[in-house]
A and B are shown apart, each in its own frame.
Chain A
Amino acid sequence: MSDYIVEMKHITKRFPGIVANDDVSIGIKKGEIFALLGENGAGKSTLMSILGGMYEPDEGEIYIRGEKVQISSPNHAAKLNIGMVHQHFKLVSDYTITENIILGVEPMKKFAGLFPYVDIRNANRKIEELSKNFGLEVDPTKKIADLTVSMQQRVEILKVLYREAEILIFDEPTAVLTPQEIEFLLGIIEGLRNGGKTIILITHKLEEIKKVADRCAVLNKGNLVDVLDVKETSTKQMAQLMVGREVNFESAKAPAVMKEEVLKVDHLTVKNEDGFEVVKDVSFTIHSGEIFAIAGVADNGQVEIADAIAGLTKVSGGKVLLQGKDITNESIRNRTEMGISYIPEDRQSFGLVLDFDLSTNLALKQYYREPFASKGILSKEEFEQFGSKLIDKYDIRSGQGIKTQVRSMSGGNQQKAIIAREIELQSPLMIFVQPTRGVDIGAIENIHKMMIQQRDQGKAILLVSLELDEIMNVADTIGVIYNGQLQKIASSESLTTNEVGEYMMGAKHE
């Protein structure tokens, strides 16, 4: 018998048009934290979904505790004491914590010895106990809708613990958390390991692996590159294996040369559909040659600020001034023409028309003007020329050049296309909302470079991001938002990552 609790041998999994896992073999020891490292699309989630019973492999074998198994469903995986904490939470927001945890394995009782019913009260007690044992304190009777993201994650963890998992898979658990929450979670994960559980941690963040993992497997484009002993490997080496080439972590950046004021946001207040103030009395300015970043936990009003400036949301109080002109009530097109470029958060719904080809998408903000249109007639050649020019200039990769349907392009290249289009507008103000969400390290590097380039050419840039690393990396000035209010505005050199994290949680005030 081998000393591995989990062995996956020669696993291959194909999806239409792609090999997500190509002959991957890994072995995981009992009681270790085993990390799975790889860029987006490397096949990490797929490999672990196979272990969790969500997919069946096309080829290969799985051994659990030395015994060959075919994991046919998540239920079966649970019987083998395997539990997965998913990247996208699978919770019913109307249900309480307890109801979510017991769903599928409800404890029953009988009323009058006849009518079976779900024994919520007993389950509440059991879950409270469980949560205390593992340091994951929750109130089992609370509804999911009232919980923060990190609390919801606790529920997902409790779900697998309730099912008595011994092998716990975490799929990018820190992607949605603040630095303090990450710290806490990594502590929990270590605690679980010390309690004898086996942990598989999927991530593309190297520091986390360095901090808690014992061993680490690196995947690249579906292939297993290497399995490393974490103690003996530097993060730089890991990054190279992951990307397949040398990477720069820090974007090389000259100090900002700020000139005249471009954007002034003056006591801005925005209400949501329910009339609730999501942006409260926010004021800041951005200068030519400055990258101003808004840092904050998701849903604290940062996106609404960007939307209000771009004209996508109505302002209920205060003013927005662009180069001294009041644009608070201008239409979106007027704002574009007066000089605002906007890279939206949801590139597929708002940034692109997925079923149009690439050249049309690239011309989307100028198509109605000369030379693209004359007297209302669109000129195909102009579209194509312009498209080809941008594809070269910004290195946008696609299957069939300007004729490619945008839907078929990778996320990183879709994003490059949007950024190219927006840069070409030559607007004095550029707004980037989560520009690197869901794109891989190589493309992130590229996007950051483009932002800094634009700054150096004298643009004013507003960056809204949930990635603190990104903000620390590219911003000249940081505004931290919490609960719709700016907690702190300061130059990026004067703040540490941890300080920003504390402001983000509302734990620290001016």
Chain B
Amino acid sequence: MDTIIIDGLSFALPLFIIAIGGIYSEKSGITNLALEGFQGFGAFIGAMSAVLIANAFGTDIQNLFYVALLFAMIGGMGFSIIHAVLSIKFKADQVISGVVINILALALTTFLTTQINALVFGAASDKFRLGVSERFTIEGVANIPVIGAVFTNVYPFEVIIIVIAFFAWYLLYKTKFGMRLRASGENPHSVDAAGVNVSKIRFSAVLISGLLSGLGGMCFAYSISANFSSNIYMGYGFLAIAALIFGNWRILPTLAACLLFGFAKSGGAFIAQSMALPSSFTDLFMILPYVLTLLLLIFFSKSNRAPRALGEIYDKGKR
């Protein structure tokens, strides 16, 4: 039971922060299927920075977690510029742009990983080995039954994510930037008429989605996969999109959706383990979150409402 909660949380929270990135982008009116690519590319930049720094200064890679996190955010944000420029400046189709960016990220990072491994380390590997970030347990509260699991074996990034998520909520709902951002996704003409630059707002929103996705991707790399490789492109970005849709583009309900996915995943793994099934069957249980997605789609696709101007190219002159 405790493992389900512990593993579920450590999966759900990075997913959650990626989904928040998606919420920012989509609330501003830009369809964002590129979350998958952003998180992978961000994680790549973070992991690369970590292994290179570790190599140059002989630091233990475990201690470079925060450095990697920072670089991952910068990397994710940098990569997201492509989506922003294509869909805002060049008014390209946002769905196509997103799909292409995902393919690009996968190909580019796989290629660069093997190249860097070969050139710098002289090793033929398609991975950057990172290990698992250290965890902490809050003594005392950890002993409370059930709830205690929440405070046991916590990754530091889980705390960081919760703090950032809170700040993201504040920015989106309490500040003028957030108010203008949400209005841009509902009716960009109203924002324009109010003398605010819609393109700038949407640009920032997409960059924020890149930044948060990079953060989320790095957390995956430092926890469940313990390395950076093309395995990071497991569809987590798409799962985040599913979560934000089930969450009706709102932050708290999206957290609920992420937790559901997280517990479905850890629960599935737990069942597979406790039944001591061969590994090929474990994979079967790994599809649980996705099956859940399909089921939820049936119930939620009717009642949920996307931002009104989502995916529409904004043309100032058009009346």
Contact = CB atoms under 8 A, between A and B. Distances in A.
Interface of A: 73-75, 78, 86, 88, 90-95, 99-100, 103-106, 108, 115-118
B186 A104 contact: no
Given A73-B195, A74-B195, A118-B174, A103 B189 contact: no
Nearest to B187: A92
Contacts, number: 58
Contacts of A86: 193
A103 B191 contact: yes
B89 interface: no
A105 B194 contact: yes
A86 B190 CA distance: 10
Contacts of A73: 195
Interface in B130-172: 170
Given A103-B180, A104-B180, A105-B194, A93 B186 contact: yes
A103 B186 contact: no
Interface of B: 170, 174-176, 179-180, 182-183, 186-187, 189-196, 308, 319
Given A74-B193, A88-B319, A104-B195, A99 B179 contact: yes
Given A90-B187, A93-B187, A93-B308, A118 B179 contact: yes
A116 B175 contact: yes
A92 B176 contact: no
Given A92-B183, A115-B170, A103 B194 contact: yes
Contacts of B183: 92, 95, 103
Given A90-B193, A94-B308, A103-B196, 10 more contacts: A75-B195, A86-B193, A88-B319, A92-B186, A92-B190, A95-B186, A103-B180, A104-B195, A108-B176, A118-B174
B187 A106 contact: no
21 contacts: A74-B193, A88-B189, A90-B187, A90-B189, A90-B190, A90-B192, A92-B182, A92-B186, A92-B187, A93-B187, A93-B308, A94-B182, A95-B186, A99-B179, A103-B190, A103-B191, A103-B194, A104-B191, A105-B194, A106-B179, A118-B176
A106 B174 CA distance: 11
A117 B191 CA distance: 19
A234 to B, nearest CB: 33
A347 B137 CA distance: 67
Interface residue SS majority, chain A: loop
A108 B176 CA distance: 8
A124 to B, nearest CB: 14
A100 B191 CA distance: 9
A460 to B, nearest CB: 37
Nearest to A75: B195
A104 B194 contact: yes
B196 A117 contact: no
Contacts of B180: 103-104
A106 B176 contact: yes
Given A117-B174, A118-B179, A91 B195 contact: no
Nearest to B309: A92
A128 B16 CA distance: 39
Nearest to B196: A104
Q: What 5 A-B pairs have minimum CB-CB distances, sorted nearest first?
A: A104-B194, A75-B195, A106-B176, A90-B190, A117-B174
B175 A117 contact: yes
Nearest to B307: A94
A100 B190 contact: yes
Contacts of A94: 182, 186, 308
A144 B181 CA distance: 18
A5 B187 CA distance: 33
Nearest to B194: A104
B193 A78 contact: no
Nearest to B178: A118
Contacts of A91: 187, 190
Contacts of B191: 103-104
Contacts of B192: 74, 90
Contacts of A93: 186-187, 308
B180 to A, nearest CB: 7
A104 B194 CA distance: 5
Contacts of A75: 195
B169 to A, nearest CB: 12
Nearest to A79: B195
A93 B308 CA distance: 9
Contacts of A108: 176
A395 B190 CA distance: 40
